[in-house]
Chains A and B, each alone.
Chain A
Amino acid sequence: MNYKRPKADVVVVGLGWAGSLIAEELTRAGLNVVAIEQGPWHDTHTNYTPTLSADELRYGRRREMLRPPSKETVTYRNNSSQTARPIRDWSYWVQGYNVGGAGTHWAVNSWRFTPADFTMATRVKERYPNEKLADGLIVQDWGVTYDDLEVHYDRFEKIAGISGEAGVINGKKTGKGNPFEGSRTNEYPTPPLVRSRWNDIFHKTTTEMGYHPFPIPAGTIGAPYKNPLGIELAPCTYCGFCGFYGCGNFSKSSPNICVLPALMDRRNMTLLTECTVTKIEKSKDGKTATGVTFIDSNGDTGFQPADIVCVTAFQLDNVRLLLLSELGKPYDHARQEGVVGRGYNFQTMNYAWLYFEDEALNPFISTGALATRIDNFNGDNFDHTGLGFLGGAGIQSLSDQATPLSMTDRLPEGTKKWGSEWKHAFKHSYQNYAKIQGQGTSYSHVDAYLSLDPTYKDEYGLPLIRQTFDYNENDRRMARYIHERVKEICAKTGAKSWKTKAYPDSHNSPYTPYDSGHTIGGAAMGLDPNTSVVNRYQQHWDAHNVFVMGASSYPNNAGYNPTETLAALTLWTAHHIINDYIKNPGSLVR
């Protein structure tokens, strides 16, 4: 059966962080919003009660909060000469499958990117005019700057109750926090988390090495807090069940806790759950969208007409929906033309796994974002002259592993993984294991892209998204440089043994343990319609009433987790829809 719903001012596709934030802004501005979400309704009090939420078997192993690969998946290959195959088991892609999206189960590392991350093309010209970059690397400005986004970063941090310690306020270094960060107008809304024992060791080691350690900003609340929407948040209990889990204590920033309780009571807000949007419909002249088509939980096909379409699904889903809707020119790898799917990037990881001898690291006291970090080697915080690469990594001591099952293989090399020897070793390593993470930048490359798979289809017969990705030469050079820094730190921590790995030394694979879940780009924002899908307001170049929001907009990834930046970009776009677009619909550029 086909049916048509009453027209809305705005239809929002996907109700994660981006969708919730844009819906909150636009309904508050008086617009009539209909949000369409693929997953079911989840709320904190009902779905993640503290008596049930910390269940590692259910959520950590069986990944109950994630979209199952049997529902929809990605096909994957390293390069265009290979045939992509569908990912059929849990991989590093952790897509949400409920109202709140991935914003419900994220591990809450909540970062601002550095000012340089938004303007690397300009920066390279000015600072490194003679450097030769790796062949095929795509370096382009976002069109939006850190200064444009500061007020929106600030607003998101207040909505989410982010805990942390400012390093730079109004251009002045505070002597605490991260001295390399972009200037902030305000301190964090809640105080930083208390350091773990491992954070203490790392803090001492890196201070002695002359670096600048600081507590990372986190969406785990540092103190009781009331956000600007009137919602109360409770202080984090350091239970450590963050990534893959919903927080039943109202302590972890999520759309479900921080936005939806206020949003859902508004009369001009409508939510359709368990409905999958399959296409953005275009007007006859093809210059605007008329609404979206979706398939509901009965299998019926609905059409939601709207004046404005906000595409706010997960990054991979955003790109796929644009390709399925034939909105924008798809990237043609052979000709290196077209934009949709181009500019794909990721995250470049380094790790060290360390084993102490007589420590009591008490890993059961942790959060998804309990880390002390140095940014001395992140982004463009250090001089790259003569290094042959762009970017870098934040190097941090992450105490995020309270979950016991996930630690059962954290044993020194050569230890047996069964029987009494394993039991004995695990008992020892439980209190003595620590990890260092080098979370690195990623730049797009002409050979890395997203496209529709020619063979594999979803349950509705629509092609799956195909990912073609491997690390590029810039990634390898950068990762090796960071690898050396990580090894230097390991040697000074007092650990008995350690193992390190720079991920770009191997081919990328979606099954690599401990790899990042940060899949980025494919619908890049920018200043030139020949190299970007959306303009600096995340407005589609070819259809002015379509706004695409999410990490799909990033032409490059910073050495940080992407969520807070996509939230700030969403609020930036909301500001321009409300203040400029509604009054004068049309392109916001020119």
Chain B
Amino acid sequence: MKKTLTLVGVLIVAALVIYIAAIQYDLHKSYPESQQNLTGDALKAQVARGKYLATASDCVACHTAPKGGKPFAGGYPIDTPFGTILSSNITSDKSTGIGSWTQEQFDRAVRHGKGSHGYLYPAMPYNAYARLTDQDLADIWAYMKTVPAVQNKVVENQLPFPYNQRWLLGGWNLLFFHASTFTPQAGKSAAYNRGAYLVEGPGHCAACHTAKNALGGDSSATLQGGNLSGWHAPDLTPNPHTGLGNWTTADIAQYLKTGAGHNSVATGPMAEAVHNSTQFLTDSDLNAIATYLKAQPASDHQAPAALTASNAQMQLGKRVYNSQCSACHISSGEGVNRMIPGFVKNAQVNANSPASLVHMVLTGADGVKTASNPTGAGMPRFDWKLSDQQIAGVLTYIRNRWGNAAPAVTSDEVAKARKALKADSWLGAKMKQ
């Protein structure tokens, strides 16, 4: 017995030693620079390419603090299931930013997930950026060196123990991180391959649109929809019920360019992605993304049987819809093109998870503003105006009307979301007391 315990102890210690040795080896790996630094007009062109790629990668979204933070100066809080992480300062400031870095250090961080404090948290989508080509990485670095220095010290790691232990991420990487730059797939069109590169690499679409496992790694249901921060990022496969099956490539490109397309309008985190990133992509790149997404295998999400009009929740929902929603979303559920989402066969409405719908009704949302669609219409918040039961009812109603079919939303789900999102309580509850 004692011997066995000793043996187990020795093995654990040995495993730890090996693990630490492996991490030390990993952390000290070198990534030689493969590109020469350019000068003059060639450098200008490189910086312009880098700016475009940094925009496609949407670096600015997470590396800028909300409400007036300086671009790239960090401090944006990313809420994960494990706690909060603040994004780092990636301006060219030498003391608090990355102004003293080399291209190799930049490469270590962006494509290999290793920063100056050790492993990065995968909130930074280095697993996607790993797909960046050597040239594109060098171009982005050339651009980042031109970002004006902003002195702003950020303490990134706000996580509780044990998640604040960066060394543990070596193991996470072993399980979920596969560093390999993108190589085009033979036999596929140039548009498909360009789309694949943008979606898998800089666009890091899977960061939100692929469901995560218990450890925060990507599940195998690639781009079939995922939940984060109280939103549901919908299925991007050509599933006609929950995905992009009814969207043409032109619809997808228009959505990414203007923030509105088919019957949908971008809100929540996607509004930020469109505002900061996709609206600036070339039409050819947007078309490539759409081509690639339309060529994915459809998810196997099946439409359940729709609830019938006699269902009690459907009856309540109909009353709430007619009095609260129909003025803007139209009594036929068709919405207003490019402005107010329509519900008829809307993939987000049919998603298994109603997280985004509940979120929208409780807290409202700003509509996306883009250069080509500056309207900025938005959804008002209804937390103060509708009870959990009424919100559950109206969402159940729109999810089972106009050809839609999706599981009923429960009052309990709404109540939990109300709490999690720190939404206001329903005024009617106070009146009842």
A interface with B by C-beta (< 8 Å): 43-46, 49-52, 224, 226, 229-232, 234-235, 237, 239, 248-250, 261-262, 265
Contacts and interface: CB of A to CB of B under 8 A. Distances in A.
Contacts of B328: 50, 234, 237, 249
Contacts of B338: 226, 232
Nearest to A45: B378
Given A237-B327, A262-B374, A232 B336 contact: yes
Given A45-B376, A230-B372, A250-B377, 6 more contacts: A49-B364, A50-B328, A232-B377, A234-B328, A234-B377, A265-B369
Contacts of A45: 366-367, 376-378
B34 interface: no
B339 interface: yes
Nearest to B373: A230
Contact of A44 (B327, B336, B377): B377
Nearest to B386: A51
What DSSP secondary structure best describes chain A's contact surface? loop
B19 interface: no
B180 interface: no
Nearest to B365: A45
Given A45-B367, A49-B364, A50-B327, A234 B340 contact: yes
Contacts of B377: 44-45, 232, 234, 250
A224 B369 CA distance: 18
A410 to B, nearest CB: 25
28 contacts: A44-B377, A45-B367, A45-B378, A46-B378, A49-B378, A50-B327, A50-B380, A51-B381, A51-B385, A52-B380, A224-B337, A224-B339, A226-B338, A230-B374, A231-B374, A231-B375, A232-B339, A232-B373, A232-B375, A232-B377, A237-B327, A237-B328, A249-B327, A250-B375, A261-B374, A262-B374, A265-B369, A265-B374
Contacts of A235: 336
A226 B377 CA distance: 13
Q: Top 6 A-B pairs ranked by shortest CB distance?
A: A49-B380, A45-B378, A232-B339, A261-B374, A51-B380, A237-B327
A538 B409 CA distance: 60
B366 to A, nearest CB: 7
Contacts of A46: 378
B177 interface: no
Given A45-B377, A50-B327, A237-B327, A261 B336 contact: no
Contacts, number: 62
B167 interface: no
B280 interface: no
A224 B374 contact: no
Interface in B108-130: none
Nearest to A263: B374
Contact of A51 (B339, B367, B371, B382): B382
A490 B311 CA distance: 51
B363 to A, nearest CB: 12
A52 B385 CA distance: 10
Interface string B331-343: 0000011111000
Contacts of B381: 49, 51
B376 A261 contact: yes
A44 B375 CA distance: 10
Contacts of A262: 374
A249 B337 CA distance: 14
Contacts of B369: 261, 265
A249 B325 CA distance: 11
Given A45-B366, A49-B364, A51-B380, A234 B336 contact: yes
A224 B371 CA distance: 20
Contact of A234 (B339, B373, B382, B385): B339
Contacts of A52: 380
Contacts of B372: 230
Interface string B284-328: 000000000000000000000000000000000000000010011
Nearest to A265: B374
A453 to B, nearest CB: 42
Contacts of A261: 369, 374-376
Nearest to B258: A230
Contacts of B366: 45
Instruction: Name which of A248, A250, A261, A262 has the most chain B CB atoms within 10 A of its CB.
Output: A250
Instruction: Name which of B336, B366, B369 has the most chain A CB atoms within 10 A of its CB.
Output: B336
Contacts of B339: 224, 232, 234, 250
Given A51-B385, A239-B327, A249-B328, A229 B374 contact: yes
A248 B374 contact: no
A45 B121 CA distance: 36
Contacts of B378: 45-46, 49
A66 B371 CA distance: 32
Nearest to A238: B327
A58 B12 CA distance: 71
Contacts of A237: 327-328
A301 to B, nearest CB: 27
A48 to B, nearest CB: 10
Contacts of A250: 339, 375, 377
Contacts of A232: 336-339, 373, 375, 377
A193 to B, nearest CB: 16
B381 to A, nearest CB: 8
Interface string B371-407: 1111111101110010000000000000000000000
Contacts of A49: 364, 378, 380-381
Contacts of B364: 49
A52 B376 CA distance: 18
A43 B374 CA distance: 13
A261 B339 CA distance: 14
A262 B364 CA distance: 22
B274 to A, nearest CB: 15
Nearest to B324: A51
Nearest to A52: B380
Nearest to A262: B374
Contacts of A44: 377
A44 B373 CA distance: 15
B254 to A, nearest CB: 13
